[in-house]
Structure 1
Amino acid sequence: MTVKTNLLIAAASSMIFAAGATAQTAPVETTATQTTTSATPAQTAPATTATPQAAPATAAPVAPTAAPTTTIAAALPTLPNRATLTKLVTAAKLQTTLAGPGPFTVFAPSDEAFTRLPAGALDTLLKPESAPTLATIIKYHVVAGAVTSDQLKAQITAGGGKATLTTLAGQPLIASLGPNSNIELTDTAGIKSYVDTADIKETNGVVHLTNGMSVPKLG
């Protein structure tokens, strides 16, 4: 069983890293006015190597937000285009974590981000045997503490252009400023994704919607 499980995880890891080479277009960054508001990100066509990033329009001004009434775990199913992430959080058995006191910052990939995985990769990750690997991937999108976009940009500036975020997976995720000051995330493979809707505030933290998934080191 151990050999079979290791082979399954290795196969999933290989497929995920192969998909991770798809570069994302920098979108217009907006600030959430309520937990059900999001923007549709601009995407590049899937590719096998990273391509130059297109500059986005100027980020939208900050708008007042409604007072949060629910946890991140409860809010995920209500967020537009995050059904796949919700399914993966459930499969990884992380609902309790994201319903806990936290606080947490979650970078939430869109449904489209997961469609760029190779055929069969998502099904493999959803198998019970892959739960530990899947948990690592999801935790790589979560940071301890509630960090708003303004606070994150301040950290980036203080860090000379980069902020190293320690995720719940125990691996670093690098934040920097993309075109027109949108937040750019760079994973362990050097692949970039972008925040397109920031500051969806919940009772136990904040969610930033992204147009791509980030991949930790696996295996």
Structure 2
Amino acid sequence: MTLSKKLFSIILLCSAVFGTTLAMAAHHGDKAKPTIVEIAAGNADFSTLVAALKAADLVDALSGEGPFTVFAPTNEAFAKLPEGTVESLLLPENKDKLTAILTYHVVAGKVMAADVVKLSEATTLEGSTVAISASDKGVKVNNANVTATDIKASNGVIHVIDTVILPGS
């Protein structure tokens, strides 16, 4: 093969690869930010939450378009539950109860911290409302303290809480 044919082949190959990469980047341009689930899965402090989302078959739903606002309990928040509670909730026969608890942590729409502090309550995907209060001591959702805010995802926002909130409590 002559040098010019080799050079032409290399250019052709590079343009094909580069063109495919550009097309993929353009197609996924709106996905530059990770989803709520991807953020949680990438943070060791949310491993219990991610396990619960998987057990409740909510990964796809919270990876969807949204937008969602998630009040995300940390592993330490789950550890505050009575001994054996998490393990029990992860059992297949308790999927409905786990789903209700997890969807109680999610609000439809993207509610940033500046907007959360203006609310006194919010309706969750579970169907019930959570009480929201803001004071000089911080923001609370029911009995949980908000410890971090405005973690932006492609399909919403995460606010970290220090306690698992339960419907009807």
Match of 2:149 in 1: 198
Match of 1:166 in 2: 123
Runs of 4+ in 1 over 4 A off after TM superposition: none
The reply on whether 1:106 has 2:70 as its aligned counterpart is yes
Distance in structure 2 (CA, Å) of the matches to 1:84 and 1:196? 17
Say which structure, 1 or 2, has more relative contact order (CA 8 Å, 6+ apart): 1
The answer for unaligned runs of 5 or more in structure 2 is 1-30
**Which letter does structure 2 place at the counterpart of 1:184?**
K
Write out aligned runs for 1:106-145 (5 A).
Answer: 106-145=70-109
**Which letter does structure 1 place at the counterpart of 2:157?**
V
Report the aligned-residue RMSD: 1.6
Q: How many angstroms does 1:183 deviate by?
A: 1.3
The answer on whether the counterparts of 1:185 and 1:194 sit within 8 Å (CA) in structure 2 is: yes
Match of 2:61 in 1: 97
The reply on whether 1:211 has 2:162 as its aligned counterpart is yes
Give the alignment partner of residue 176 of structure 1, picking from 133, 136, 145: 133
Larger radius of gyration: 2
Q: How many angstroms does 1:78 deviate by?
A: 1.2
Distance in structure 1 (CA, Å) of the matches to 2:43 and 2:32? 14
Give the share of equivalent positions with the same residue, in percent: 36
The answer on whether the counterparts of 1:68 and 1:202 sit within 8 Å (CA) in structure 2 is: no
Q: How many angstroms does 1:92 deviate by?
A: 0.6
The answer on whether the counterparts of 2:70 and 2:159 sit within 8 Å (CA) in structure 1 is: yes
- Count of residues in Structure 1 that have an aligned counterpart in Structure 2: 139
**Which letter does structure 2 place at the counterpart of 1:109?**
P
Alpha-carbon spacing, 1:68–1:205, altered in 2? closer, same or farther (3 Å): farther
Give the alignment partner of residue 141 of structure 2, picking from 185, 190, 199: 185
SS at match of 1:81: helix
The answer on whether the counterparts of 2:80 and 2:163 sit within 8 Å (CA) in structure 1 is: no
TM-score computed with the length of structure 2 as normaliser: 0.78
Distance in structure 2 (CA, Å) of the matches to 1:136 and 1:68? 30
SS at match of 2:34: coil
